[in-house]
Amino acid sequence: MTMPLYVQGGWFIGALLFIFGLKGMSSPASARQGIVTAGYGMLVAIAATFFIPGLQNLALMLAALLIGGAAAWISGKQVKMTDMPQMVAIYNGMGGGAAAAIAAIEFAKGDAHSVVTTVLAVVGALIGAVSFTGSCVAWAKLQGVLKKAWRLPAQNAVNVILAVVSVGLGVAMIGCAPAEPVLILGFFVIALLLGLVVTLPIGGADMPVVISLFNAFTGLAVGFEGYVLGNPALIIAGIVVGAAGTLLTQLMAKAMNRPLSNILFTPMVASGAGEAITGTMKEVNALDAAAMMRYAAKVIIVPGYGMAVAHAQHKVWEMTAILEEAGVEVKFAIHPVAGRMPGHMNVLLAEAGVPYDKIFDLDEINAEFGQADVALVIGANDVVNPSARTDKSSPIYGMPILDADKAQNVIVIKRGKGTGYSGVENALFYTDNCRMLYGDAQPMAGEIIQHLKTLG
Amino acid sequence: MDALLALYIFMLAAFTGYEIIAKVPVILHTPLMSGSNFVHGVVVVGAMIMLGQADTPVQQAIGFFAVALGAANAAGGYVVTERMLAMFKKKEL
């Protein structure tokens, strides 16, 4: 269908604003303006669509826009910053579902004219559907609705069979247009099942990478359906996101030293892995911890997701301010996958008011642990586990870690003696220079603040 | 659409996406992932086009579903990205 110029123009402006917006989002100073720009792009693109001549089902369309938009707007306003990753996952899954649904109507109408169009419609539908159910599983895992990693016997074989069957059904649909309803239904059931089965065995620690991957998937699905619809705005927005998301996924996987194929096909097995650790965990109380930091020259704080869950960011920042007033140099060290997504911890610290120039990433700060008097680990675990450097049999061997163990003293604030998100024992807790401060991060930071004040 | 023309658009768009991310500091990875998640919410436009052509109840139902999901992707993606970036903005002052 050829569209009138004013509709095409609206979509063009939309695509243009998306690219400017994303460009703006790539630098902290212009990031806020960037999302607003992209937002205008979306409004223009949607508004232009209403001017398509002969558009049917207008009331239904408005109702759908209102229901979907309002529900997401309200939930997005209410979600806590710590729960942001699963929220991104669920919105992303919805985009994938929308792309798959577009293809479903396309198949039902039998409008696809060339082989290229049909092939792209099928591929877009497949990855859109996988992204939809996969993202739902990712949400459920991070939200804590789904606690266990379900692993089927012969998991990889099941994955391959489902993938082959869905591609086969897709090929069958390409062969006959309009496709049989049974064929369409079968294709989508298998594709949705594939997303479920692929994602279920993946552990929580790998979820950020998976969410990013599904984000790229949805982008590609949107781009392909854009071609099917003959809509360049969808193609551009979808493919830009697909490429950006793929690169982002690679950066994340690299930060965890886990090749993407490992994450998807051989999930981390924690039980019985790694060398036995000798030594004991040694406790410390809040007063001693406060004194150690107060009389230190340099303290490096390693915050983890546990700190965020305990909402201790503000207390920790208050503590930092007191230490700095007393002349102690304080820095924050952030592991690339601290939190649940790369940069998530930076967002959480920014929320608490910690300035940029105190926050350092792994490459910048690792050399400095040797000169630090105290490394304070708050609610972080796997990202400071020295087994990743030394123990070849450990499941996390090879993952780049923050070298907290190289500091003169290590204080770990932790709720109990349990293992980290990966389920691996942490050798750091048993080393001679490490002291455990058991308790919730927020009251513990509060106690340290009290003691620091009395120490003067 | 001309397949070859589309191939050129694919290529240039992929290059653009790659370039945008390549120079981004780690601190912005989460907001940018969320921001790119918002951008593919433009799928709502495609969903509207399909619903606008739907002529059986089944197609209408799927189209309704598609538009609602697409709108949720766009609206939700915008809100959470804006909230995250607003905090970075505050730090600038």
What digits encode the pLDDT tens for the residues A103-127? 999 888 876 568 888 889 999 999 9
Q: Which residues of B touch A102 (CB under 8 A)?
A: 43, 46-47, 50, 66
Q: Which residues of B touch A76 (CB under 8 A)?
A: 75-80, 83
Q: Does residue A201 lie in a domain region?
A: yes
Flag whether residue B4 sits within 8 Å of chain A, measured between CB atoms.
no
* Residues A261 and A340 occupy one common structural domain: no
Confidence band for B86, pLDDT divided at 50, 70 and 90: confident
Tokens at A380, concatenated: 């972080």
CA dist B18 and A439 (Å) reads: 44
* Residues A411 and A325 occupy one common structural domain: yes
Range B18-28 average pLDDT: 79
* Residues A108 and A182 occupy one common structural domain: yes
- Residue B89: predicted pLDDT: 54
Residue B92 C-alpha, separation from nearest chain A C-alpha, in angstroms:
7
CA dist A32 and A117 (Å) reads: 37
Q: Which residues of B touch A212 (CB under 8 A)?
A: 33
- Residue A251: predicted pLDDT: 81
Which residue has tokens 């690679």?
Answer: A250
Confidence band for A78, pLDDT divided at 50, 70 and 90: very high
Report residue A243: phi and psi, to 5°. -70, -45
Q: Does residue A151 lie in a domain region?
A: yes
Confidence band for B91, pLDDT divided at 50, 70 and 90: very low
Q: Which residue has the higher pLDDT, B73 or B21?
A: B73
Summarize chain A as % helix, strand, coil (round to 5).
65, 5, 30
Interface touch A239/B10, C-beta < 8 Å: yes
Q: Which of B20, B49, B82 sits opposite A52 (nearest CB)?
A: B49
Tokens at A432, concatenated: 């001679």
Q: Does residue A155 lie in a domain region?
A: yes
Range A286-293 average pLDDT: 90
Distance of CA B86 to the CA centre of its chain: 20
Interface touch B48/A46, C-beta < 8 Å: yes
Range A195-222 average pLDDT: 88
Which of A12, A58, A65, A207 would you mutate first to test chain B, the one with the most B CBs within 10 A? A65
* Residues A10 and A140 occupy one common structural domain: no
Annotated active-site positions of A, please?
382
- Residue A422: predicted pLDDT: 65
* Residues A312 and A244 occupy one common structural domain: no
Kindly state the DSSP code that residue A47 receives in the 8-state scheme.
H
Helical (H) or strand (E) element with A452: helix A441-455
- Residue A202: predicted pLDDT: 83
Of all residues in chain A, the percent with pLDDT exceeding 90 is 48
Confidence band for A266, pLDDT divided at 50, 70 and 90: low
Q: Which residues of A touch B41 (CB under 8 A)?
A: 42, 91, 95
Interface touch A227/B69, C-beta < 8 Å: no
Q: Does residue A230 lie in a domain region?
A: yes
What are the CB-based long-range contacts (under 8 Å, 24+) for A336-339?
A336/A252, A336/A255, A336/A256, A336/A361, A336/A362, A336/A400, A336/B26, A337/A205, A337/A208, A337/A252, A337/A255, A337/A256, A337/A383, A338/A303, A338/A304, A338/A305, A338/A380, A338/A383, A339/A85, A339/A304, A339/A305, A339/A308, A339/B30
Confidence band for A60, pLDDT divided at 50, 70 and 90: very high
Range A23-37 average pLDDT: 88
* Residues A87 and A71 occupy one common structural domain: no
Q: Which residue has the higher pLDDT, A179 or A349?
A: A349
What are the CB-based long-range contacts (under 8 Å, 24+) for A6-9?
A6/A48, A6/A51, A7/A48, A7/A49, A7/A51, A7/A52, A9/A48
DSSP letter string, A159-197: HHHHHHHHHHHHHHHHHSSSPPHHHHHHHHHHHHHHHHH
Flag whether residue B7 sits within 8 Å of chain A, measured between CB atoms.
no
CA dist B11 and A403 (Å) reads: 41
Residue B57 C-alpha, separation from nearest chain A C-alpha, in angstroms:
11
Coil, strand or helix: which one is A377? Answer: strand
- Residue A276: predicted pLDDT: 67
Q: What is the pLDDT of residues A171-205, one digit of tens each?
A: 888 777 667 888 889 999 999 999 999 998 887 67
Which residue has tokens 């915050």?
Answer: A303
**β-bridge mates for residue A340, sequence order:** none
- Residue A147: predicted pLDDT: 73
* Residues A122 and A48 occupy one common structural domain: no
Among chain B residues, CA nearest to A94 = B69
- Residue A272: predicted pLDDT: 45
As a whole number, the mean pLDDT across chain B is 88
Interface touch B42/A105, C-beta < 8 Å: no
Tokens at A209, concatenated: 């990478």
* Residues A229 and A344 occupy one common structural domain: no
Interface touch A69/B74, C-beta < 8 Å: yes
- Residue A1: predicted pLDDT: 59
Range B55-61 average pLDDT: 93
Confidence band for A261, pLDDT divided at 50, 70 and 90: confident
Interface touch B72/A94, C-beta < 8 Å: yes
Q: Does residue A451 lie in a domain region?
A: yes
Q: Which residues of B touch A63 (CB under 8 A)?
A: 64
- Residue A423: predicted pLDDT: 67
Coil, strand or helix: which one is A52? Answer: coil
* Residues A292 and A340 occupy one common structural domain: yes
Buried b (16+ CB within 10 A) or exposed e, A203-229: bbbbbbbbbbbbbbbbbbbbbbbbbbb
* Residues A43 and A104 occupy one common structural domain: no
Confidence band for A271, pLDDT divided at 50, 70 and 90: very low
* Residues A167 and A236 occupy one common structural domain: yes
- Residue A389: predicted pLDDT: 86
For chain B, count helices (H), then strands (E).
Answer: 4, 0
Residue A107 C-alpha, separation from nearest chain B C-alpha, in angstroms:
10
- Asked if the model's pLDDT at residue A440 lies above 90, the reply is no
Range A370-386 average pLDDT: 89
Residues 6+ apart with CB under 8 A from A447: A286, A290, A439
Among chain B residues, CA nearest to A117 = B3
As a whole number, the mean pLDDT across chain A is 87
Q: Does residue A96 lie in a domain region?
A: yes
Q: How many Cβ atoms are within 10 Å of A243's Cβ, its own excluded?
A: 25
Residue at a domain's end among A76, A97, A128: A76
Listed by number, the residues of chain B in 26-55 with a beta carbon closer than 8 Å to a beta carbon of chain A are: 26-55
CA dist A168 and A267 (Å) reads: 27
Q: Which residues of A touch B50 (CB under 8 A)?
A: 101-102, 105-106, 229
Which of A83, A92, A252 would you mutate first to test chain B, the one with the most B CBs within 10 A? A92
- Residue A53: predicted pLDDT: 92
Range A214-229 average pLDDT: 94
Q: What's the CATH number where A321 sits?
A: 3.40.50.1220
- Residue A398: predicted pLDDT: 78
Residue B30 C-alpha, separation from nearest chain A C-alpha, in angstroms:
5
- Is 0.95 surpassed by the pTM of this model? no
- Asked if the model's pLDDT at residue A239 lies above 90, the reply is yes
Q: What is the pLDDT of residues A300-342, one digit of tens each?
A: 999 988 888 788 888 999 999 999 999 999 999 988 777 777 7
Are B38 and B79 within 8 A, CB to CB? no
Range B72-91 average pLDDT: 84
Among chain B residues, CA nearest to A214 = B37
* Residues A63 and A96 occupy one common structural domain: no
Residue B23 C-alpha, separation from nearest chain A C-alpha, in angstroms:
7
Tell whether the torsion through CA atoms of B62, B66, B69 and B71 is positive or negative: negative
Most confident of A5-19, A22-36, A308-322: A5-19
Are A70 and A59 within 8 A, CB to CB? no
Confidence band for A373, pLDDT divided at 50, 70 and 90: very high
Residue at a domain's end among A76, A100, A118: A76
Q: What's the structural domain count of chain A?
A: 3
Residue at a domain's end among A234, A265, A296: A265
Q: Does residue A188 lie in a domain region?
A: yes
Of all residues in chain A, the percent with pLDDT exceeding 70 is 93
Q: Which of A38, A61, A81 sits opposite B51 (nearest CB)?
A: A61
- Residue A111: predicted pLDDT: 67
Interface touch A68/B79, C-beta < 8 Å: no
Closest CA to A177 of A260, A130, A110, A245: A110
**Which stretches within A50-180 are classed as H helix?**
58-78, 84-109, 115-143, 155-175
Angle at A385 (CA atoms; ends A382, A387), nearest 5 degrees: 120
Which of A37, A77, A347, A363 would you mutate first to test chain B, the one with the most B CBs within 10 A? A347
Q: Which domain holds residue A431?
A: 286-455
Q: Does residue A280 lie in a domain region?
A: no
CA dist A365 and A363 (Å) reads: 6
Flag whether residue B60 sits within 8 Å of chain A, measured between CB atoms.
yes
Q: Which of B13, B73, B84 sits opposite A94 (nearest CB)?
A: B73
